[in-house]
């Protein structure tokens, strides 16, 4: 009876209130409704503001929480839905992001930048990324011989990508002997002339592991070893036909195992030297199983095999690294093959007279890749820069062409704004990445490649204040499996962490996370390393929440500009349900979308975990055994040396901020030769009281 009476009382009270509302004047009721509506709109706008701010601080979970609150209050706000999608995307929840954006697309409220963004993300998630190359090259532009009234090259003979991995390449000029470094946009960076004596009809060049250059000098029958600045420091060989002597040296190749191979036009052979210039062997002369090289030219070393082009016979021959003949790879279809270039294990580009051919090793198929617009005459050398472009030096045409796969030309570029930093407002910093459609970073861009717009104003005076390809600073997060089963191996793991931390530089950051049942941040920048390692030895649990620990370790790296690496020390024996709360694909996308490379490091040589290895592959990392000859230090070398398409533009804002309450839209566009990309975002300035 008591519950019934309470219910009755509530109904009576409701009726009394309803009666009073009916008796109120219509104007008063409308004003109250408007006041309630305004209050909801204000709360929704405030949650949107906090969501955008949290996003730019790399606090994506907080951003999602605020944006979902805002959308619950004002469900038809397209800007909130856009930002919720971006927050989902950066958190690794791409499916949820696409759903939010699809709502905007279906309603006809998606702009061209968002439509392109969604299209590229969808392509990357599907099979399209496996079908990215057509094999056909199209010319983008030629490198002008004359720049600023100076003729920089005459009879280009060789091109090679810079080991700096910044998109630039080196060009060797046969007649004037210049060695020229050229930016990815085709501008002359600097010229080297080989010191006082110069180079005597140089033919080819290659980079040694220590950064020095090996340049074959056809005119003086030697190989010059030069410093990175182009000054000769030593020579290999002398004129002659005996072992160790050279006659008409042309093409050079440096193998991964540290040997120099050079083709000799005069001696019709290939000679092999070690990096100290000591003669090893020669091969290519007639033998019982081989008729001999008639005109040895281009060389490529791949997977323990030496590929040699024969420009007189029109063939490509294959030898082992000891000089034993293996087989003839291509017998017909070539006119006068010279420069060789592997773009993958199964794809070999061949400079053949006035065109470039491509040979598919898997399918034994030879086809035309480019005829240089029908203008090619004698292409001697080809290389591939860090942006995937193919550079070809045409000796007779006296030109250098930059080409790209035709599929990438029409696919465009993927520019993604990562965050807008307003700590120094009105100075604004915009962090973004530039990639091709399939996720390969685009490097070597400069200020002239970018266009930025804030609100309704084009920004003319901005600085390119940071380029990732020129910066090797590292942010490292190490996650240690603290499951009790590994307690007796704590010393081993501590030594591994110590070695990693010891190899970091003064500008690097390091974090240490323990994977317990409740993951713990053990150390961060500024903490004493010895104390951190001591704390690492304490506390073990019967189970480790590995997924949460990896998320915690990755979150420490956000949203900085430095190169990001996440190392996980484990025996690989993780719980089968590890990636239930955070899905395996979501985890990989979270790291990948935030530029984090993942490296699982195993304590046992024969144990691996397929799920951890999958994340490593998706993020550009590798799986590794702790006790390799150099330990796990090569992990840091890989991260520092990898290509990096991160950029920052900085400018002084003149936008109206409404004391920090106004949303300021912003867009960045990149134009790189005949490719372009664009992204739109926005920010709030700091609140003013």
Tens of pLDDT along 464-479?
Answer: 999 999 999 999 999 9
Query: What's the whole-number mean pLDDT along residues 33-47?
Result: 80
Range in 182-196, 272-286, 577-591 the model is least confident about: 182-196
Tokens for 253, please give them: 């190749």
Give the 3-state secondary structure of residue 544.
coil
Beta strand segments in 193-291, E: 202-207, 213-217, 222-226, 232-236, 249-254, 259-264, 269-274, 279-283
The torsion angles phi and psi of 447, rounded to 5 degrees, stand at: -55, -35
For residue 647, the cross-strand partners are 432, 467
In sequence order, what are the beta bridge partners of 139? 403
Residue 20 confidence (pLDDT) above 80 = no
DSSP assignment, residue 542? S
Instruction: Give me the residue label for tokens 């930025």.
Output: 452
In the structure, what pLDDT confidence band is assigned to residue 129 with cuts at 50, 70 and 90? low
Confidence at residue 648, expressed as pLDDT on a 0 to 100 scale: 98
Q: 8: pLDDT confidence band, cut at 50, 70 and 90?
A: very low
Q: Are the CB atoms for 152 and 386 separated by under 8 Å?
A: no
Cβ proximity of 648 and 430 under 8 Å: yes
Task: Please count the other Cβ atoms lying within 10 Å of the Cβ belonging to residue 77.
Answer: 18
pLDDT of residue 231: 86
- Domain ranges in the chain? 2-110, 137-409, 412-470+646-684, 474-641
d(CA 310, CA 563): 44
Assess whether pLDDT exceeds 50 at residue 304: yes
Which pLDDT score is estimated for 127? 55
pLDDT at 559 over 90: no
Residue 267, pLDDT > 80, answer yes
Higher pLDDT, 18 or 603: 603
Q: Which residues contact 252 (CB under 8 A, 6 or more apart)?
A: 204, 205, 206, 214, 215, 216, 223, 260, 261, 262, 299
Integer Cα distance of 71 and 45 in angstroms: 10
Per-residue pLDDT, averaged over 429-449, amounts to: 94
Q: Compute the C-alpha angle 678/121/609, nearest 5°.
A: 135
Contacts of residue 103, defined as CB under 8 A and 6 or more positions apart, other chains included, come to 81
- Quote the pLDDT of residue 196: 52
Q: What's the pLDDT at 207? A: 96
Place 16 in a pLDDT band, splitting at 50, 70 and 90. Answer: very low
Q: Which pLDDT score, from 0 to 100, does residue 120 have? A: 93
Q: How confident is the model at residue 14 (pLDDT cuts 50, 70, 90)?
A: very low
Compute the distance between CA of residue 101 and CA of residue 202 in angstroms, rounded to an integer.
56
Identify the helix (H) or strand (E) that includes residue 477.
strand 474-481
Mean pLDDT of 122-146: 77
Reading the block at residue 674, the tokens are 């005949």
Interval 618-647: pLDDT, tens: 999 999 999 988 888 899 999 999 999 999
| DSSP 3-state of 627 | coil
Per-residue pLDDT averaged across 501-516, rounded?
95
Burial class (CB in 10 A: 0-12, 13-18, 19+), 74: middle
Task: Could you please state the CATH topology (level 3) that the domain comprising 474-641 is classified under.
Answer: Rossmann fold (3.40.50)
Kindly report the average pLDDT of the chain as a whole number: 91
Place of tokens 């030879």: 366
Coil, strand or helix at 539: coil
Q: Find the mean pLDDT for residues 570-597.
A: 95
Does residue 389 have a pLDDT over 90?
yes
Reference 422, options 46, 45, 57, 48; nearest CA is: 57
What average pLDDT does this structure show over 176-196?
83
Contacts of residue 326, Cβ cutoff 8 Å, sequence gap at least 6: 305, 318, 319, 320
Which tokens belong to 1?
């009876």
607 near 572, Cβ under 8 Å?
Answer: yes
pLDDT of 343: 94
pLDDT given for residue 31 in this prediction: 55
Structure-model confidence comparison of residues 275 and 20, the more confident one = 275
The secondary structure of residue 74, as a DSSP letter, is: -
DSSP secondary structure code for residue 122 in this structure: H
Q: Which of 10-14, 354-358, 684-688 has the highest mean pLDDT?
A: 354-358
Please give the pLDDT value at position 466. 97
For the domain spanning 2-110, the CATH number is 1.25.40.10
pLDDT band at 4 (very low <50, low <70, confident <90, very high): very low
pLDDT value, residue 132? 56
Which DSSP state fits 2? H
So what's the pLDDT on residue 110? 95
Let me know: does 210 contact 198? Beta carbons within 8 Å: no
CATH number of 137-409: 2.120.10.30
> Which pLDDT score, from 0 to 100, does residue 29 have?
45
Instruction: Select, from the ranges 11-25, 48-62, 123-137, the one with the highest average predicted confidence (pLDDT).
Output: 48-62
- What is the per-residue pLDDT for 465? 97
Mean per-residue pLDDT, 522-548: 91
Output the pLDDT for position 215: 96
Token duo for residue 374? 């029908």
Distance of alpha carbon 273 from alpha carbon 206, whole angstroms: 14
- What angle is formed at CA 591 by the lines to CA 587 and CA 597, rounded to 5 degrees? 125
Question: How sure is the predictor about 318, in pLDDT bands with cuts at 50, 70 and 90?
Answer: very high
What average pLDDT does this structure show over 314-335?
97
Report whether CATH 2.60.40 matches the domain 412-470+646-684: yes
- Are 556 and 521 within 8 A, CB to CB? yes
């Amino acid at each position: 009876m008591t519950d019934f009476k309470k219910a009755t009382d509530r109904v009576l009270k409701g009726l009394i209130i309803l009666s009073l509302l009916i008796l109120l004047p219509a104007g008063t009721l409308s004003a109250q409704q408007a006041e309630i509506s305004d209050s909801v709109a204000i709360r929704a706008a405030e949650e949107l503001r906090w969501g955008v701010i949290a996003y730019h601080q790399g606090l994506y979970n907080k951003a999602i929480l605020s944006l979902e609150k805002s959308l619950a209050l004002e469900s038809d706000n397209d800007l909130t839905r856009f930002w919720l999608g971006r927050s989902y995307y950066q958190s690794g929840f791409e499916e949820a992001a696409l759903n939010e954006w699809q709502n905007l697309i279906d309603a006809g409220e998606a702009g061209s930048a968002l439509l392109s963004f969604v299209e590229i993300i969808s392509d990357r998630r599907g099979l399209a990324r496996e079908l990215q190359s057509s094999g056909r090259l199209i010319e983008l532009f030629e490198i002008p011989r004359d720049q600023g009234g100076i003729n920089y090259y005459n009879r280009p003979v060789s091109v090679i990508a810079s080991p700096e991995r910044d998109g630039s390449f080196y060009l060797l000029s046969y007649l004037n002997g210049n060695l020229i470094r050229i930016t990815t946009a085709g501008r002359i960076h600097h010229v080297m002339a080989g010191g006082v004596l110069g180079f005597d009809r140089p033919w080819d060049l290659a980079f040694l592991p220590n950064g020095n250059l090996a340049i074959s000098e056809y005119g003086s029958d030697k190989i010059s070893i030069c410093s990175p600045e182009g000054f000769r420091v030593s020579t290999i060989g002398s004129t002659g036909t005996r072992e160790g002597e050279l006659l008409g040296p042309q093409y050079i190749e440096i193998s991964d195992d540290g040997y120099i191979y050079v083709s000799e036009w005069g001696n019709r052979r290939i000679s092999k030297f070690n990096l100290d210039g000591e003669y090893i062997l020669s091969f290519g002369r007639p033998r019982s199983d081989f008729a001999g090289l008639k005109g040895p030219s281009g060389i490529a070393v791949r997977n323990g095999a030496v590929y040699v082009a024969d420009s007189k016979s029109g063939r490509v021959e294959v030898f082992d690294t000891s000089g034993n003949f293996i087989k003839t790879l291509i017998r017909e279809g070539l006119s006068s093959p010279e420069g060789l270039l592997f773009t993958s294990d199964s794809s070999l580009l061949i400079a053949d007279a006035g065109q470039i051919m491509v040979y598919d090793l898997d399918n034994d198929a030879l086809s035309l890749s480019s005829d240089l617009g029908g203008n090619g005459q004698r292409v001697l050398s080809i290389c591939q820069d860090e942006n995937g472009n193919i550079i070809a030096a045409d000796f007779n045409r006296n030109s250098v062409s930059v080409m790209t796969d035709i599929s990438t030309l029409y696919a465009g570029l993927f520019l993604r704004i990562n965050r807008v930093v307003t700590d120094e407002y009105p100075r604004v910093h915009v962090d973004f990445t530039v990639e091709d459609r399939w996720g390969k970073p685009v490097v070597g861009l400069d200020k002239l490649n970018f266009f930025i717009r804030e609100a309704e104003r084009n920004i003319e005076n901005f600085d390119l204040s940071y380029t990732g390809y020129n910066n090797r600073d590292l942010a490292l997060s190490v996650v240690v499996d603290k499951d009790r089963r590994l307690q007796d191996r704590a010393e081993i793991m501590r030594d591994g962490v110590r070695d990693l931390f010891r190899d970091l530089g003064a500008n690097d950051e390091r974090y240490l996370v323990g994977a317990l049942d409740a993951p713990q941040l053990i150390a961060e920048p500024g903490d004493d390393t010895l104390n951190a390692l001591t704390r690492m030895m304490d506390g073990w649990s019967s189970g480790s929440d590995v997924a949460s620990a990896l998320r915690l370790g990755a979150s420490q790296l956000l949203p900085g500009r430095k190169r990001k690496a996440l190392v996980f020390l484990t025996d690989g024996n993780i719980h089968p349900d590890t990636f239930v709360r955070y899905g395996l694909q979501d985890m990989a996308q979270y790291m990948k979308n935030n530029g984090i490379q993942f490296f699982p490091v195993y304590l046992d040589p024969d144990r691996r975990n397929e799920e951890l290895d999958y994340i490593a592959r998706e993020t550009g990392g590798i799986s590794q055994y702790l006790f390799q000859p150099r330990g796990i230090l090569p992990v840091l070398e890989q991260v520092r040396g990898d290509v990096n398409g991160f950029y920052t533009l900085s400018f002084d804002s003149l936008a109206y901020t409404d004391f920090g309450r106004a949303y300021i839209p912003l867009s960045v566009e990149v134009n790189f030769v005949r490719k372009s990309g664009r992204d739109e975002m926005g920010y709030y300035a700091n609140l003013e009281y």
